Structure 1
Amino acid sequence: MATLPPLAERMRPESLEGYSGQQHLIGPNAILRKAIESGNLPSMILWGPPGVGKTTLAFIISKQLQRPFFSLSAINSGVKDVREVIEKAAALKNFGDNLPILFIDEIHRFSKSQQDSLLGAVERGLVTLIGATTENPSFEVISALLSRCQVYVLKHLSETDLLELIERALREDSQISQKTVTIKEHEALLRLSGGDARRLLNVLELVINAAGTQDVEITNEFVLEHVQQNMALYDKAGEQHYDIISAFIKSIRGSDPNAAVYWLARMIAGGEDPLFIARRLLILASEDIGNANPNALLLANNCFQAVNVIGWPESRIILSQTVTYLASSAKSNASYEAINAAEALVARTGNLPVPLHIRNAPTKLMKNMGYGKEYKYAHAYEGNFEEQEYFPDGLSGTTLYQPGNNTSEQKLRERLKMLWKNKYKY
């Protein structure tokens, strides 16, 4: 049995009738099913969480339409690989063969130049593109390519879908069906799957093999005991994903670049999306560093842009530079606390009117009503400052931003004290 493909691969359906879930797309009279049955298939992006059948659906479509099927993974394919596939597609067209389907898994990991290399083939009708992504394509796919594709959203599999998968595997798999498997409790199986069909079947197979007998009784306790010992240490869709990103963020917040880069390496080894990591660094640069080092946000933003352009694997170097810099930087959550306090104040006091002197006055009527009257234009005064009230009535003197205890914000604190004297509590 060890030489066999994993259960998830053995149970991969080959027709729409055997496909689980996504009835809003491939059920009777559903939009994608109609396109498949008509043979008028557009290029498309399949957007959904891991393990809901994006790759399987692409394969089923190609089989049902009897189209040649080319598959690339954005993790390990580059522009050269794309061009080679397009050349093969052009040759097929010259021989009068059916239009091939080009499936690109994790298309969000393609850089702009890699995505650009697809445009011509899609426009000229050399291939029908099917891209799969776990990320919002509006942010991760270039607009020129996105405009030439339909976006179909795949949903998490329901509990019913997952239980049907288990029953089908027990009934139809050539190996498992030879055993007597009794599922007394299924909650642990479903929880560990995280709604991922592939992971569910892999866990099921692991548990059945762990029993080592022809008669297998599956309980929650039995599942947790054996899965925790044998499953991989990182899962992008499961609990480890959140635990490791938590350890990563807390290591940077705690100014430990050594631990931070270790957790970065754990995510890289687990196949985490580099753009997900870069986005978290952007948030952290404001939430945990803020005005203690304004360059942190600039570097984090440049990191995000660079990762998007450069692609993998070189992006790991850019991520490492940013992670070690942010972890080594001075820290402050003062701006984060300020917006929290401001939002709480707004929730408590409601829509207080804007003071007349700082209202906009685009019309004569508004000016006659006193809008903008006696407003003091700061740049017209010495030091580009003149004291006036900017809060609504009743909130004057409220201090929401307290500069942190670091060199950069101490300077801000001293400046604010000099300007506002005793109005705010600095």
Structure 2
Amino acid sequence: MNEPLAERIRPKTLEEYISQAHLVGTNGSLTTQIKKGIIPSLILWGPPGTGKTTLANIIANESERPFYSLSAINSGVKDIRDVIERAKDSGGLFTSKNPILFIDEIHRFSKSQQDSLLGAVEKGWVTLIGATTENPSFEVIPALLSRCQVYVLNSFGKDDLETLLKRAIREDSFLKTKNITLKETEALLRLSGGDGRKLLNIFELVINSEEGDKIIITNDLILNKLQKNTVLYDKTGEQHYDIVSAFIKSIRGSDPNAAVYWLARMIEGGEDVKFIARRLLISASEDIGMANPTALVIANSTFQAVSTIGYPEARILLSQCAVYLATSAKSNSSYMAIKKAQEIVQKTGDLSVPLPLRNAPTNLMKDLGYGADYRYAHDFEGNFVSHEFLPESISGTSFYSPGDNKREKAIKAHLDGLWQGKY
């Protein structure tokens, strides 16, 4: 019984697969493709333990394709080329039965390693399935990303995790020999952080540490068994999300002491330097925004610098940026503006661009009135003339509301002088 529980009960078919109904449920975006065996190259993006590797295996089984697997942790360009050559020999070119090449943690591949996949994907020698816990927009090169569909896997919900536990008790050959009662599951679910594999690992550890065949799972039992095994910071689990949340909320709350503390927790836990820098970039725009636009410049410079420097020196730059953002004036006005604008777009659809605002590169367009009655701001005193720039049906709608801070008060005064109360 050396094989872990998570591996022993790994689903083999779509019917056995738990969660991700939006992808592989009855109306899932991947279900029909898998059933027909017409699979595009794709990237599966989601937290650890959400079934990315399992789904890749099921796709290969359901479509009856040869399956080749590499891990980005210990594979190089030579390994990739060797697998591609074997895949070419085992499958016909440009057929629906192209071999599947699964690459776990594809975000760890360098640019040159990712480049080595392009030809095989483009020519149809393999169907690539990449798995990543990081945002593919940042970690996968554009040329490869453009050749793949990206599918997002979500953390397991409470019902999914409980279903997983009950299935393990019911189907695993070892657990079936035990009399296991799930009296309380809150501690198990909380410690798993939505990670199915972690849930099963914890569960197996507890079961193996109990004597006798009758085992009642309670919160106290789980916490007592695991208190010595709790790590300071699990960058792939629940604390990863909780601590970065505390970090950003400390910056938003203008507390540089707390911001630096949570930053230190992430650094000591080995968090990816670019992950932290990206969160700072988002905070600079979402939480500070127009109150201090320089914050975005500082955060972007920090991101570029730490991407080049790395640890340990990068910690100094991250600390400087975190303190700067935490002590800056705050405003979410631009964040709220785009949120309101998107809500209007979703409600009203594709409203026509007013004729005065349309481009008129041809005589026909000019004859149709494109660009007519447009007033060029620079032809008027102060480089401003009152004009309606929104579609008629939402004319006068306000999206941007200047925040209550020194800089935006000046912006509001300026806009009031131009628009006479519109802002």
- Scaled by the length of structure 2, the TM-score of the pair is 0.66
Q: Which amino acid aligns with 1:193?
A: S
Task: Determine helix, strand or coil for the equivalent of 1:71.
Answer: strand
Q: Cα–Cα, structure 1 residues 201 and 57, in superposed 2: closer, same or farther, change >3 Å?
A: same
Aligned to 1:324: 320
**Could you say what the CA RMSD is over the residues aligned between the two structures, in angstroms?**
5.5
Q: Is the 8 A contact 1:278 1:319 kept in 2?
A: no
Q: Distance in 1 between matches of 2:207 and 2:50?
A: 23
Task: Determine helix, strand or coil for the equivalent of 2:165.
Answer: helix
Task: Determine helix, strand or coil for the equivalent of 1:51.
Answer: coil
Aligned to 1:355: none
1:54-203 maps to which residues of 2 (within 5 A)?
54-60=52-58, 65=64, 67=66, 69-73=68-72, 76=73, 81-92=75-86, 96-97=89-90, 101-108=100-107, 110=109, 114-134=113-133, 137=136, 141-154=140-153, 157=156, 161-173=160-172, 175-203=174-202
Task: Determine helix, strand or coil for the equivalent of 1:46.
Answer: strand
Q: Is the 8 A contact 2:195 2:237 kept in 1?
A: no
List runs of 5+ in structure 2 lacking aligned partners.
92-97, 349-355, 361-365, 391-395
Q: Distance in 2 between matches of 1:415 and 1:30?
A: 53
Give, in angstroms, the shift of residue 331 of structure 1. 0.5
Aligned to 2:206: 207
1:16 aligns with 2:13: yes
Give, in angstroms, the shift of residue 332 of structure 1. 0.8
Aligned to 2:402: 401
State the percentage of identical aligned residues. Answer: 48
Aligned to 1:354: none
Q: Is the 8 A contact 2:106 2:132 kept in 1?
A: yes
Give, in angstroms, the shift of residue 279 of structure 1. 3.5
Q: Is the 8 A contact 1:261 1:324 kept in 2?
A: no
CA deviation vs aligned residue, 1:214-251 (integer Å, no higher than 9, x gap): 42111345445545664434455765334311332244
Give, in angstroms, the shift of residue 173 of structure 1. 4.0
Give, in angstroms, the shift of residue 86 of structure 1. 2.4
List runs of 5+ in structure 1 lacking aligned partners.
352-358
Q: Is the 8 A contact 1:387 1:420 kept in 2?
A: no
Q: Distance in 1 between matches of 2:160 and 2:404?
A: 52
Q: Distance in 2 between matches of 1:360 and 1:250?
A: 41
Give, in angstroms, the shift of residue 62 of structure 1. 5.5
CA deviation vs aligned residue, 1:7-48 (integer Å, no higher than 9, x gap): 324x3526327842257538897421431xxxx654322234
Q: Distance in 2 between matches of 1:338 and 1:41?
A: 40
Q: Which amino acid aligns with 1:53?
A: G
Q: Which one has a bigger Cα radius of gyration?
A: 1
1:278-297 maps to which residues of 2 (within 5 A)?
278-290=277-289, 293-297=292-296
Q: Distance in 2 between matches of 1:149 and 1:388?
A: 46
Q: Is the 8 A contact 1:257 1:324 kept in 2?
A: no
Aligned to 1:34: 36
Q: Distance in 2 between matches of 1:60 and 1:137?
A: 22
CA deviation vs aligned residue, 1:81-101 (integer Å, no higher than 9, x gap): 44112231255368x456764
Aligned to 1:53: 51
Q: Is the 8 A contact 1:7 1:202 kept in 2?
A: yes
Q: Which amino acid aligns with 2:36?
A: K
Q: Cα–Cα, structure 1 residues 210 and 388, in superposed 2: closer, same or farther, change >3 Å?
A: same
Q: Cα–Cα, structure 1 residues 144 and 339, in superposed 2: closer, same or farther, change >3 Å?
A: closer
Q: Is the 8 A contact 1:285 1:326 kept in 2?
A: no
Task: Determine helix, strand or coil for the equivalent of 1:285.
Answer: helix
Q: Is the 8 A contact 1:89 1:100 kept in 2?
A: no
| Equivalent pairs, count | 392
Q: Which amino acid aligns with 1:325?
A: C
Q: Is the 8 A contact 1:290 1:331 kept in 2?
A: no
Give, in angstroms, the shift of residue 143 of structure 1. 4.3
Q: Which amino acid aligns with 1:31?
A: Q
1:223-234 maps to which residues of 2 (within 5 A)?
223-224=222-223, 226-227=225-226, 230-234=229-233
Q: Which amino acid aligns with 1:8?
A: A
Task: Determine helix, strand or coil for the equivalent of 1:123.
Answer: helix
Q: Is the 8 A contact 1:291 1:332 kept in 2?
A: no
Task: Determine helix, strand or coil for the equivalent of 1:145.
Answer: helix
Give, in angstroms, the shift of residue 275 of structure 1. 5.5
Q: Is the 8 A contact 1:115 1:145 kept in 2?
A: yes
Q: Cα–Cα, structure 1 residues 89 and 166, in superposed 2: closer, same or farther, change >3 Å?
A: same
- Scaled by the length of structure 1, the TM-score of the pair is 0.66
